[in-house]
Chain A
């Protein structure tokens, strides 16, 4: 772990999206089930299941979050967005029962991000969704923090594989802190080290040479 000079654009907090953040762009690529409330002429090729020229009213299809957000309009009903299954009543009960056992990476991997983004669409269940997302985070945070602060010099892949993207980022910063503290304790904090970026570049160069 080294001090890095590359700081990517951080993802937005809560319902906000950060325009230039790569994470937020990938998050808004997640697909949502929607139902069209009006016809989209001459765009029939977007809907694979039929070969009409238009997308008729009442078609059920999957659209990425960014498109649903752009088209969604409270006054003019262009489309209605349905909840993905992990935010529906059934899964909410599971999350409320024990958030620690759920594999959020498989469910998401942007469970919290997408959950917050769902609040943009007026759904009567919004307060419950927000509550569940928050409680899930609170319920899992302690374990994430504990494991990131105590797994030193061991394989962490089993610890992170079930974490959501947000939790993974928290885990990583916990690990950086832990490693920084350990190297200070061992008196290595003042040792000058090679840049990890340079080292990684060299690693790749060797593999490039080998056929």
Chain B
């Protein structure tokens, strides 16, 4: 049956419903495009024959292949679009720098899209707050205090805070830090928020 290949792509995304980005399936996508090309060419020959020899009985077959073309088109669009949604989410979960193993799963165009999304978001955030800019990825949960108690879950090296002090983030050490400085690190699982 036609359009079986493209379902594999869709399934791949559907299995990872938590928003993880599977590797870009270039090979699968190429196979789908090849199938579409074959369908299109067959339809062309049948259309020409139906026109020149007046064979109206070919029309149902042409219609069937046309449906398959539309279906492939829909699935490929959905595949690419869903991946973009996931990539956009990564910007909010990881911050502007992605770890290599995540970046590795994107194709060149997706990396380009990610960079442009980053730029648009950054210029939007700069335009807010009366010329001073406002980081809207901060404070997803309303803050209760400016400083919070955090514990290090792994060695992260040196870390500089606003007043210029440098702290060493060593595994299992506990610190009292400005909230806005460590929010990102908490999301990334480097620090843990300790609530007393």
A19 touches B67 (CB 8 A): no
One of A34-42, A105-113, A116-124 at the interface: A34-42
Contact A19 B74 (CB under 8 A): yes
Q: Which of B75, B85, B99, B189 contacts A25 (CB 8 A)?
A: B75
Least CB separation from B78: chain A residue: A20
- Contacting pair B61 A200 (CB below 8 A): no
CB distance from A70 to the nearest CB of B (A): 4
Residues in B with CB closer than 8 Å to A26 are: 7, 10-11, 14
Q: Please measure, in the bound complex, the distance between the C-alpha atom of A27 and the C-alpha atom of B74, giving whole angstroms.
A: 14
Residue in chain A with minimal CB distance to B186: A192
Count, chain B residues at interface, CB 8 A? 56
> B164-175 interface mask toward A, CB cutoff 8 Å, 1 = contact, 0 = none?
000000000000
Which of A3, A66, A201 is packed against the most chain B CB atoms within 10 Å?
A201
B4 to chain A, nearest CB (A): 9
Identity of the chain B residue whose Cβ is nearest the Cβ of A196 in the assembled complex: B18
In chain B, positions 130-189 with a C-beta closer than 8 Å to chain A are 140-144, 148, 183, 186-189
User: How close is A34's CB to chain B, nearest CB, in angstroms?
Assistant: 12
A190 within 8 A of B: yes
Beta-carbon nearest neighbor of A208 in chain B:
B101
The minimal Cβ–Cβ distance linking A150 to chain B, given in whole angstroms, is: 24
> Once bound together, how far apart are the Cα atoms of A26 and B63, in whole Å?
22
User: Who on chain B is nearest to A6 by CB?
Assistant: B19
Scoring A residues 167 to 211 as 1 if CB is less than 8 Å from chain B, else 0, what string do you get? 000000000000000000001111111111111111011000000
CB-based contact A197/B18 at 8 Å: yes
CA distance A23 to B158 in the complex (A): 46
* Complex alpha-carbon distance, A25 and B148, angstroms: 46
- Proximity string of chain B (97-114) to chain A, C-beta cutoff 8 Å, 1 when within and 0 when not: 001011000000000000
Does B128 count as interface, using CB distance less than 8 angstroms?
A: no
Nearest chain A CB to B102's CB is how many angstroms away?
Answer: 7
Q: How far, in whole Å, are A205 and B192 apart by their CA atoms in the complex? A: 20
* CB-contacts of A30-73 with B (<8 A): 38-43, 46, 64, 66-67, 70-71
B17 cross-chain contacts in A, Cβ below 8 A: 8
B64 proximal to A (CB < 8 A): yes
Q: How far is the CA of A187 from the CA of B193 in the complex (A)?
A: 13
From A22, A23, A192, A205, name the one whose CB has the most chain B CB atoms within 10 angstroms.
A192
Decide if B78 touches A198 in the complex (CB within 8 Å).
no
- Please name all residues of chain B whose beta carbon is closer than 8 Å to the beta carbon of A197 when the two chains form the complex: 18-20, 89-90, 93
Cα–Cα distance between A25 and B12 once the two chains are bound (Å): 13
A8-B17, A8-B82, A200-B20 known; A78 vs B186 contact (CB < 8 Å) = no
Instruction: State how many angstroms separate the Cβ of A40 from the closest Cβ of chain B.
Output: 5
> B71, A66: Cβ atoms under 8 Å?
yes
Alpha-carbon distance A185/B85, docked complex (angstroms): 32
B96 at the A/B interface (Cβ < 8 Å)? no
Contact in complex: A67, B20 (CB < 8 Å): no
Say whether B31 faces chain A, with CB atoms less than 8 Å apart. no
Contact between chains at A201 and B78 (CB < 8 Å): no
- Does B118 sit within 8 A of A, measured CB to CB? no
Question: Would you list the 3 A-B pairs with minimal beta carbon distance, nearest first?
Answer: A6-B19, A70-B67, A6-B89
Question: 16 other contacts beyond A193-B193, A196-B18, with CB at 8 A cut-off?
Answer: A5-B19, A5-B93, A6-B18, A22-B82, A41-B57, A41-B58, A46-B1, A70-B63, A70-B71, A71-B67, A190-B195, A191-B195, A192-B148, A192-B193, A194-B189, A201-B20
